[in-house]
């Protein structure tokens, strides 16, 4: 038994040391990057795998169309990054190969397609999610996902903590023996304060008067309890904004309650709960294929779809029929983040117009709309 206990305590000691270093790094971190001061601003285009390259390419085409004046003047430069395929990651047995990571770090913002994460039954190496690895390496601590359905009275913005919780140590659990396994969850004051402050600043700047903190602090008393208390304390700095808190289980129910769901505006959530509940929320506006997300840090930012890479579509030769709306919605967020709000609004309005017109219908199969055709129609709308 003593040998088995040592296996667990040694692993826990390693994780404590690594997280203490991360806490110090957060304490030493400076302020957010000023995009207006960059000359040039470098935008990375990283297709990922599966349908990722297809839908990322059409989003990149639309982005280049909107930023053509900035590209012509040299203020914006695009950089293609091709090494994030599942084949290349398996070949290097790493979530993100070192040379690819260096390319990513030479960009200021990244438009990234979906990537395949191997699971235990796939027969692939048990490598970490590329998304999780990128969020940690670039310290993209805030995952921001908006969901809007005007006719249902839904206008939600989710601030999901990206670098802590259950996911950040998800590949570092330990099997003590064939009967006992542990995973680890981490919450820090610095990590929680920064996601909370970003959410409250968003609420203040966008005239939202309610922020909801989502946890399971009644059961997960230490990590979720700390998350809740730290967020509440940040909320006291914003007296004009009402703060309430909900448990994750009842929140999932209330989002489908026609009377109560209109009361929600801005959410702050730990990583795991944020992942689950934003998928539920996306169903109201047409499913995860319609939703984009922003991953925000102080030095870098990455914008992506919230769905997976759909490898079966590629295997069946249907990749051209993939719906790019998720990546195009992510492009709206990217434009807004770099200070191009007029262009972000222009793209969002065109997406809404094209979607409501019924002109382009995606079936995922021959006879339905194609990703490329959708982008071309979108640019026609914006060019009108």
Q: Mind giving me the DSSP string for 337-361? A: HTT-HHHHHHHHHHHHHHHHHTSS-
The per-residue pLDDT for 12 is: 93
Distance CA 287, CA 341 (A): 25
Summarize the confidence of residues 90-104 as an average pLDDT.
93
The per-residue pLDDT for 122 is: 67
Summarize the confidence of residues 204-229 as an average pLDDT.
96
Confidence of residue 309 (pLDDT cuts 50, 70, 90): confident
Confidence of residue 384 (pLDDT cuts 50, 70, 90): low
> Which superfamily does 31-140+297-384 belong to?
Isopropylmalate Dehydrogenase (3.40.718.10)
**Secondary structure (DSSP) of 25-62:** HHHH------GGG-SSEEEEEE--STTHHHHHHHHHHH
- Would strands 210-215 and 242-247 be described as parallel, antiparallel, or unpaired? parallel
Of 26-35, 96-105, 285-294, least confident by mean pLDDT is 285-294
pLDDT surpasses 90 at 320: no
The per-residue pLDDT for 245 is: 97
Where are the chain's structural domains? 31-140+297-384
The per-residue pLDDT for 324 is: 92
Confidence of residue 121 (pLDDT cuts 50, 70, 90): low
Angle at 29 between CA 27 and CA 30, to 5 degrees: 130
The per-residue pLDDT for 120 is: 61
The per-residue pLDDT for 11 is: 92
Q: For the chain, what percent of residues have pLDDT higher than 90?
A: 67
Sign of CA dihedral 51, 59, 324, 97: positive
Q: pLDDT tens digits, residue range 170-214?
A: 878 999 999 999 999 999 999 999 999 999 999 998 899 999 999
The per-residue pLDDT for 70 is: 96
Distance CA 285, CA 153 (A): 12
The per-residue pLDDT for 290 is: 72
The per-residue pLDDT for 270 is: 97
- Would strands 41-46 and 109-112 be described as parallel, antiparallel, or unpaired? parallel
Tell me the residue length of the chain: 384
Summary mean pLDDT of the chain: 91
- Non-local (6+) Cβ contacts of 381 within 8 A are 350, 353, 354
């Amino acid at each position: 038994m003593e040998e088995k206990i040592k296996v667990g305590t040694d692993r826990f000691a390693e994780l404590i040391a690594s997280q203490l270093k991360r806490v110090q790094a957060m304490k030493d971190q400076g302020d957010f990057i000023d995009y207006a001061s960059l000359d040039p601003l470098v935008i990375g285009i990283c297709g990922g795998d599966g349908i990722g390259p297809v839908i990322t390419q059409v989003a990149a085409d639309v982005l280049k169309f909107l930023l053509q004046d900035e590209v012509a003047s040299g203020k914006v430069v695009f950089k293609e990054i091709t090494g994030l395929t599942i084949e290349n990651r398996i070949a290097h047995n790493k979530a993100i190969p070192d040379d690819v990571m260096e390319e990513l770090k030479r960009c200021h913002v990244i438009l990234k397609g979906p990537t395949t994460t191997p699971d235990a039954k796939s027969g692939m190496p048990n490598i970490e999610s590329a998304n999780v690895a990128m969020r940690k390496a670039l310290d993209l601590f805030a995952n921001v996902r908006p969901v809007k359905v005007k006719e249902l009275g839904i206008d939600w913005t989710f601030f999901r903590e990206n670098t802590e919780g259950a996911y950040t140590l998800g590949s570092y659990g330990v099997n003590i023996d064939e009967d006992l396994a542990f995973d680890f969850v981490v919450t820090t004051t610095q990590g929680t304060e920064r996601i909370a402050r970003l959410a409250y600043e968003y609420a203040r700047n966008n005239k939202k008067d309610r922020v909801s903190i989502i946890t399971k602090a009644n059961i997960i008393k230490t990590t979720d309890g700390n998350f809740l208390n730290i967020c509440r304390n940040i909320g006291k700095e914003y007296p004009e904004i009402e703060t309430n808190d909900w448990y994750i289980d009842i929140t999932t129910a209330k989002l489908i309650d026609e009377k109560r769901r209109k009361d929600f505006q801005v959410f702050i959530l730990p990583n795991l709960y944020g992942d689950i509940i934003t998928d539920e929320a996306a169903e109201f506006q047409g499913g995860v294929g319609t939703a984009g997300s922003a991953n925000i840090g102080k030095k870098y930012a990455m914008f992506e779809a919230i769905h997976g890479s759909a490898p079966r579509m590629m295997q069946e030769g249907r990749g051209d029929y993939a719906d790019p709306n998720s990546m195009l919605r992510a492009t709206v967020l990217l434009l807004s983040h770099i200070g191009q709000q007029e262009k972000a609004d222009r793209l969002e309005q065109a997406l809404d117009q094209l979607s409501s017109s019924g002109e382009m219908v995606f079936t995922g199969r021959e006879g339905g709309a194609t990703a490329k055709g959708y982008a071309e129609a979108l640019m026609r709308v914006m060019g009108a």
